[in-house]
Amino acid sequence: MTKLLDSTLVLCDLDHLLLAGDGNMPQVVRDVLQLFSSRGGRLTVFSQRSPRAVRAVLGGLRLAAPALTCGGTLAYRFSEGSGQPLCSFAGCEESIFKKLPAAVGLGIALQMADGSTRVLRMSTALERHLRREFTPFTLCSPADVKGEDVLRILLYQDRQQLPIQALLEKALGDNAAMLRSERTGMDVMVLTPGAVSAEAMLGAVCLPVNCTADQLTVAAGCSQMLELVRQAKQSVVPADAPVELRLAAGQTTLTDHDTGAAAEFFYGLVRSAEAAS
């Protein structure tokens, strides 16, 4: 079969473009990705999930370049079973991990540089996310944590009105201001030691597979990928993406996520390549 898309690499938002509301990949998306791959297209993904959770979702679907997992803090090569951490909490054991707030209804999980997930404190919301996202985990205590091994701290709240930011500031004091915090869901707050640059993330994806900036397309569906969209020369977002993504992207699909934006985009690449051959 003629390879039409040999120079094309797509970094695609797994969580917000390829998955349905139940957390699984629809068969139509799997079929169009297989078609894209059979024509020579190369795929990798961006996800908030850990490598093990990403692998569980992908099933037999193979990636052609390192995946950006744990919100872009770990570039993971599934073919080798190894990752490249892009940040860490080195030296923060005493000032952060042993002082994290303890409150009823607050769950705390850590995403680790080896691709694993550790749980410091369980909550209903955390348990729900772990189960829904197919995330294996181990329980641990703050005394067992080495900051150099931690990529992100994930806080899960059972109640909407739980004042996470106030709890953090009270427990951590001035150290709270040193952390970068962002919401990745209504009940999830993520803490990192700082922002990972888009240049670092794209380099971790492209350099190992000799991909140039002109050969990469970023397909994004969440605001956490905004800097990647701005940095990429080619980008696409679904019609229902956050407004800042739509303003920054080079292309917007005709359909939204629920009505087939991913299938539209990947099938469009195949059709365009066939028309040009």
The pLDDT score that the predictor gives to residue 237 is 98
What pLDDT score does 1 carry? 42
pTM: 0.94
Determine the distance from the C-alpha atom of residue 28 to the mean position of all C-alpha atoms in its chain, rounded to a whole number.
Answer: 22
CATH number for domain 100-192, candidates 3.30.9.10, 3.30.1240.10, 3.20.20.70, 2.60.40.3080 = 3.30.1240.10
Enumerate the β-bridge partners of residue 237: 252
- For the chain, the domains span 9-85+196-276, 100-192
Positive or negative: CA dihedral 66, 238, 196, 6: positive
Cα–Cα distance measured from residue 54 to residue 211, given in angstroms and rounded to the nearest whole number: 22
Sheet with strand 188-192: strands edge to edge: 138-139, 117-121, 106-112, 150-157, 188-192, 180-185
Closest CA to 184 of 90, 63, 47: 47
pLDDT by 10-residue block (mean), the chain, 277 residues:
71 97 92 93 96 93 96 96 95 93 94 96 95 93 94 93 90 92 92 94 95 91 96 95 96 95 94 81
The pair of structure tokens assigned to 268 is 């469009």
Same fold, 9-85+196-276 and 100-192: no
- Give yes or no for a contact between 43 and 63, defined as CB atoms under 8 angstroms apart: yes
Q: So what's the pLDDT on residue 4?
A: 66
CATH number of the 9-85+196-276 domain: 3.40.50.1000
